Chain A
Amino acid sequence: MKYSVYLLLLAALHAAPIVIKNATVLTVTKGTFVGSVVIRDGKIVEMGEKVTEPAGAEIIDASGKYLMPGIIDCHSHIASDAINEGSVSVSSMVGIEDTINPDDIAIYRALAGGVTTANVLHGSANSIGGKTVVMKMRWGKDSRDMIFEGAKPGIKFALGENPKRAGNPGGQRINANAVLRYPATRMGVEDVIREAFNDAKIYQAQWKEYNEKTARGEQLLAPRRDLKLDALVEVLEGKRFVHAHCYRQDEILMLLRVADDYGFKIRTLQHVLEGYKVAKEIAEHGAGASTFSDWWSYKVEAFDAIPYNAAIMVRKGVLVSLNSDSAELMRHLNDEAAKTMKYGGLSETEALSLITINPAKQLDIDKRVGSIEVGKDADLVIFDEHPLSNYAKVEKVFVDGQAYFDRNKDLADRAQREAEKAKLLEKEKQKEKEKRPGAGANPSSLPKKAALDGDGYTAGSSPNSIAHSHRSSVPLGVWHVTPVRRATV
């Protein structure tokens, strides 16, 4: 009796296995086949043209549909209540982890575009920015559950125009008390990075000395912990990946040389629009490149760009990914990948790699995600057509074998959300009337059509949440000021 209760409990804890049948499976690393994928306990346990369907499995018939690994965005700024700590040139003491906002609607919208993992970065306001977090798009869960467990942490660096704007978005004083921040040139950016690592090395040596002495039994006061330098020591020790925002070939080479001088690696170059000019050097350093397909000319350093950038870097042996840097672009990274077939002649698999296995490798999470393989996380997307087609729509998205987005369910739930909203608005209106007896309804205060077409999903919005309905003309990592709401990107 007790045993059966235990079994029931177990069954409740472990959701039923799922079999996705008859799909065109784009594994990215193991070829393409028409067949099935079996999911159990959040993992892919079997795949192939014929599989054994476990008893009690939920069967999803994906005839005529396409199954691909969840898309990985190596550069995003969603799901955080803060993006830039722009007050100082080195802000390595701050981290996205402290301000994760699991209620940002952009998470859900990213899922709707097939994204299951994102590298959420600090902005590019300063030469050395804050700590980054790799997240899974587990919409509806609390903030800790958003973190990709075991993914190595990163840090944002930024070169060029943004960090040299002297701490002010427009480069000028924005209020009477503002003091211009060093640096104001590219030379200065290099200097800031070098000085920071000089300090980090001294700090590292202090701790080493302290640890050696205390190991010998000496009673000593520990050095002061410095959160800013802690993060940089982690970079020196290879425990934290550097994701560096850059555009021009000269600054790219500068950073690679600085890293070589101090004995650390640049994990990824972000944006890297002139990467095609120095692809060989990037490959030699072993840095990855995460770029756009065809987004440029939004500022002075972003003009010498070509749509062949990704393809050229691939051919030169660079590990390349395509990223969004935008909550909107994030929703159709599959489109972006497809462009590299037209511009540069990448194969389908190579194009898909740019948004799946390559970013997974860049983030060192490729053992878990990035392709459809037995043993990997069941982070999967069902498209109604080939994902490299402009017409493809995301139908269903799984993270850890759990459905977090279902297009049909979303459409079906809308009426109910709209009804709830209309009810609450009506209730509020009634209360207002009660408060003012005798006062007639004010026609201008009646909720108009917006009551019905507002999106019922929107969770807590915040001044820093980034939920654009249209593609912005400037990447979010690029630092600019809009008069309302967003001042820190």
Chain B
Amino acid sequence: MKLRLMLVVLGAGALWAQQPTALAIHNARIVPVNGPVIAKGTVVVRNGLIESVGPDGNIPADAWVLEGDGLTVYPGLIDSLSTIGLPDEAPPAPGRTGAPPATPATPPPAPASTTPPARGPEDRPSTYSWQRAADMIKTSDRRLEVARAAGFTTAVTFSHKGIFAGQGAVIDLAGDTTGKMVVAENVGQYVTTATGGFGSGYPASLMGVFAYIRQIYLDADHYKKARQMYAAHPAGMERPEYDRALEGVLASPQVLLPATRRIDVDRMIRFANELKIHPVLYGIPEAYRSVDLLKRSGVPVLLSLKWPAKPQETNPDDVDELRALQTRDQAPSAPALLAKNGVKFAFFADGMERRTDLFPAVKRALDAGLSQDDAVRALTLTPAEIYGVADRLGSIEKGKIANLLVTKGDLFQEKTEVKFVIVDGVKYEPVEEPPPARPTLERSNIQ
């Protein structure tokens, strides 16, 4: 018995090694996202790209055929904001920290450094704007498998440390080398309002963060002009100092800004206008009460799927404020409201990467009125559009990267299985999940 099992495993390994250059998923229901659903059709994948998609059953002779009867093919899901691939930045286990919803985003403070505290903006505190997630990802991050098992084939990954935390990359969630994983190496700058508080140097307050960011953009503008002048006529001109912090800021095509409450949305939209940058807002448990602001601004948003929940490990006699209760109740209604009002939004897993966390989280938005199509779009084509990679990702179209998700049942339903995903043309079956960081019992015993 044991021997037979081993043979099977070995056999699978052998097959793995010999994945063909062409794959065809035959007779499946296809949800291409950019067009109408194909009730029964075929997707052909070759050399990592989608070769054809359509209702006809033409299968190339050399293709490995996967019978799709009773299965549905979606574009691979995209996690629009993640640290996946950066194993050191893995968040704590889901369900462990139910942050109170009505407080400002407080990302972890920048790591204690050995350098003295910053004395002002000139010291470029908590600034890593030049760092690229694309240069830091590792193929060894176990979360790649976890996310694939939930149907993700792509993530937009950012280091989260610092005020200017660095440039994000669109990565495919498989590959032998990190270079093969990267789809786009600089799709935006991740900004937080994290401070170390007293004794940690400038800036130590939210207003300090705003002033610092404002000064950085003024400096970047000045720097750009100085460099241009110097490049044109170096003789006789004092050489402008090279500044990697400003280089990183100038190189970023858009800026991800945090927002938790309505006031954060208001603030960040105005701030982005003032700085003349292209903003993308992320987080936003109070998006449901910010729809007017978002609609008016046209700013795209990344919504966390970790819906605000009652904080655990608090005094059970403490009763939350009405606004916090309202937010916990209504946060999942935001996606439907945003869709109705034409606000561009994508979802990000925010620690809910496991299928068992992800599907119920999206389901809550469906239950609150979001259409299935809009939900799928918010995890496929919309994030691809926000990050400027919709020409290669986000839908099942000829010529696009062959990132596919094949399910049995409609996406996000409790009983729906992820049969397999295809990443860059290679098929991956969901693997047994690595053990959770904390035993499940412990997670649910305090309510």
Taking the complex as formed, is A249 at the interface, i.e. its CB lies under 8 A from any CB of chain B? no
Q: Which of B51-59, B201-209, B421-429 contacts A (4 or more CB under 8 A)?
A: B201-209
Taking the complex as formed, is A456 at the interface, i.e. its CB lies under 8 A from any CB of chain B? yes
- Interface residue from B203, B229, B317 paired with A87 (Cβ < 8 Å): B203
- Alpha-carbon gap, A455 to B321, bound state (A): 7
- Alpha-carbon gap, A142 to B264, bound state (A): 11
- Interface residue from B205, B219, B267, B318 paired with A83 (Cβ < 8 Å): B205
Interface string of A418-450 (1 = CB under 8 A from B): 001100110110001001100000101111101
- Interface residue from A87, A94, A143, A461 paired with B267 (Cβ < 8 Å): A143
Contact A228 to B120, CB < 8 A, known contacts A85-B202, A94-B207: yes
Contact A488 to B215, CB < 8 A, known contacts A169-B198, A228-B120: no
Taking the complex as formed, is B316 at the interface, i.e. its CB lies under 8 A from any CB of chain A? yes
CB-CB under 8 A from A122, the residues of chain B are 207
Assess whether A450 is in contact with B206, with CB atoms less than 8 Å apart.
Answer: no
B431 to chain A minimum Cβ distance, whole angstroms, is 27
- Alpha-carbon gap, A84 to B208, bound state (A): 9
- Alpha-carbon gap, A448 to B316, bound state (A): 9
Taking the complex as formed, is B250 at the interface, i.e. its CB lies under 8 A from any CB of chain A? no
Taking the complex as formed, is B121 at the interface, i.e. its CB lies under 8 A from any CB of chain A? yes
Contact A87 to B325, CB < 8 A, known contacts A93-B121, A98-B267, A179-B117: no
Q: Which residues in window 435-489 of A have CB below 8 A to B?
A: 435-436, 442, 444-448, 450-451, 454-464, 481, 487-488
- Alpha-carbon gap, A177 to B117, bound state (A): 7
Taking the complex as formed, is A377 at the interface, i.e. its CB lies under 8 A from any CB of chain B? no
Contact A85 to B203, CB < 8 A, known contacts A101-B263, A432-B447, A445-B316: yes
- Alpha-carbon gap, A428 to B202, bound state (A): 41
- Alpha-carbon gap, A442 to B119, bound state (A): 52
Closest A residue, CB atoms, query B201: A87
CB-CB under 8 A from B201, the residues of chain A are 87, 179
CB-CB under 8 A from A427, the residues of chain B are 329
Assess whether B263 is in contact with A87, with CB atoms less than 8 Å apart.
Answer: no
Assess whether B199 is in contact with A94, with CB atoms less than 8 Å apart.
Answer: no
Contact A86 to B198, CB < 8 A, known contacts A224-B222, A428-B310, A442-B447: yes
Closest A residue, CB atoms, query B202: A87
Assess whether B322 is in contact with A417, with CB atoms less than 8 Å apart.
Answer: yes
- Alpha-carbon gap, A224 to B240, bound state (A): 12
- Alpha-carbon gap, A462 to B199, bound state (A): 21
Assess whether B208 is in contact with A461, with CB atoms less than 8 Å apart.
Answer: no
Assess whether A460 is in contact with B205, with CB atoms less than 8 Å apart.
Answer: no
Closest B residue, CB atoms, query A226: B215
Interface string of B307-326 (1 = CB under 8 A from A): 00010000011110111011
- Alpha-carbon gap, A81 to B119, bound state (A): 22
CB-CB under 8 A from B447, the residues of chain A are 432, 435-436, 442, 445
The CB with the most chain B CB atoms within 10 A, among A96, A102, A448, A460, is that of A460
Assess whether A130 is in contact with B204, with CB atoms less than 8 Å apart.
Answer: no
Interface string of B193-217 (1 = CB under 8 A from A): 0000111111111111011101100
Contact A82 to B206, CB < 8 A, known contacts A88-B119, A174-B198, A178-B200: yes
Interface string of A66-81 (1 = CB under 8 A from B): 0000000000000011
Taking the complex as formed, is A401 at the interface, i.e. its CB lies under 8 A from any CB of chain B? no
CB-CB under 8 A from B346, the residues of chain A are none
Assess whether B322 is in contact with A458, with CB atoms less than 8 Å apart.
Answer: yes
Q: Which residues in window 188-236 of A have CB below 8 A to B?
A: 221-222, 224-228
CB-CB under 8 A from A99, the residues of chain B are 206-207, 210, 267
A99 to chain B minimum Cβ distance, whole angstroms, is 5
CB-CB under 8 A from B321, the residues of chain A are 454-455, 458-459, 461
Assess whether B199 is in contact with A227, with CB atoms less than 8 Å apart.
Answer: no
Query: What is the interface of chain A mostly: helix, strand, loop, or mixed?
Result: loop
The CB with the most chain A CB atoms within 10 A, among B197, B211, B286, is that of B211
A362 to chain B minimum Cβ distance, whole angstroms, is 23
Assess whether A96 is in contact with B207, with CB atoms less than 8 Å apart.
Answer: yes
CB-CB under 8 A from B212, the residues of chain A are 93
Assess whether B199 is in contact with A456, with CB atoms less than 8 Å apart.
Answer: no
CB-CB under 8 A from B444, the residues of chain A are 435-436
Assess whether A450 is in contact with B198, with CB atoms less than 8 Å apart.
Answer: no
Assess whether B198 is in contact with A487, with CB atoms less than 8 Å apart.
Answer: yes
Assess whether B211 is in contact with A94, with CB atoms less than 8 Å apart.
Answer: yes
CB-CB under 8 A from A142, the residues of chain B are 263, 266
CB-CB under 8 A from B225, the residues of chain A are 221-222
- Alpha-carbon gap, A460 to B206, bound state (A): 16
Closest B residue, CB atoms, query A178: B199
Assess whether B205 is in contact with A488, with CB atoms less than 8 Å apart.
Answer: yes
Interface string of B233-271 (1 = CB under 8 A from A): 000000000000000000000000000011100110011
B266 to chain A minimum Cβ distance, whole angstroms, is 6
Taking the complex as formed, is A95 at the interface, i.e. its CB lies under 8 A from any CB of chain B? yes
CB-CB under 8 A from A168, the residues of chain B are 198-199
Assess whether A86 is in contact with B103, with CB atoms less than 8 Å apart.
Answer: no
Q: Which residues in window 147-204 of A have CB below 8 A to B?
A: 167-169, 173-175, 177-179
- Alpha-carbon gap, A317 to B219, bound state (A): 47
B232 to chain A minimum Cβ distance, whole angstroms, is 11
Assess whether B263 is in contact with A102, with CB atoms less than 8 Å apart.
Answer: yes
Assess whether B204 is in contact with A421, with CB atoms less than 8 Å apart.
Answer: no
- Interface residue from A80, A81, A177 paired with B112 (Cβ < 8 Å): A177
- Alpha-carbon gap, A83 to B212, bound state (A): 16
- Alpha-carbon gap, A226 to B222, bound state (A): 11
Closest A residue, CB atoms, query B321: A458
Contact A93 to B199, CB < 8 A, known contacts A81-B206, A451-B319: no
Contact A460 to B319, CB < 8 A, known contacts A87-B117, A175-B199: no
Taking the complex as formed, is B102 at the interface, i.e. its CB lies under 8 A from any CB of chain A? yes
Closest 6 CB pairs of A and B: A178-B199, A98-B210, A458-B321, A87-B204, A94-B207, A424-B325
**Besides A435-B447, A444-B316, A458-B322, 15 other A-B contacts (C-beta < 8 A):** A85-B205, A87-B117, A91-B208, A94-B210, A95-B207, A99-B210, A122-B207, A178-B198, A179-B116, A224-B222, A432-B447, A435-B444, A460-B261, A462-B104, A487-B198
- B interface residues (Cβ-Cβ under 8 A, vs A): 102-104, 106, 112-113, 116-121, 197-208, 210-212, 214-215, 218-219, 222, 225-226, 229, 261-263, 266-267, 270-271, 286, 310, 316-319, 321-323, 325-326, 328-329, 444, 447
- A interface residues (Cβ-Cβ under 8 A, vs B): 80-88, 91, 93-96, 98-103, 122, 130, 142-144, 167-169, 173-175, 177-179, 221-222, 224-228, 417, 420-421, 424-425, 427-428, 432, 435-436, 442, 444-448, 450-451, 454-464, 481, 487-488
Task: List 15 A-B pairs, Cβ < 8 Å.
Answer: A81-B104, A85-B208, A87-B118, A87-B200, A94-B203, A98-B267, A168-B198, A224-B219, A225-B218, A227-B121, A421-B325, A435-B444, A444-B316, A460-B261, A462-B104
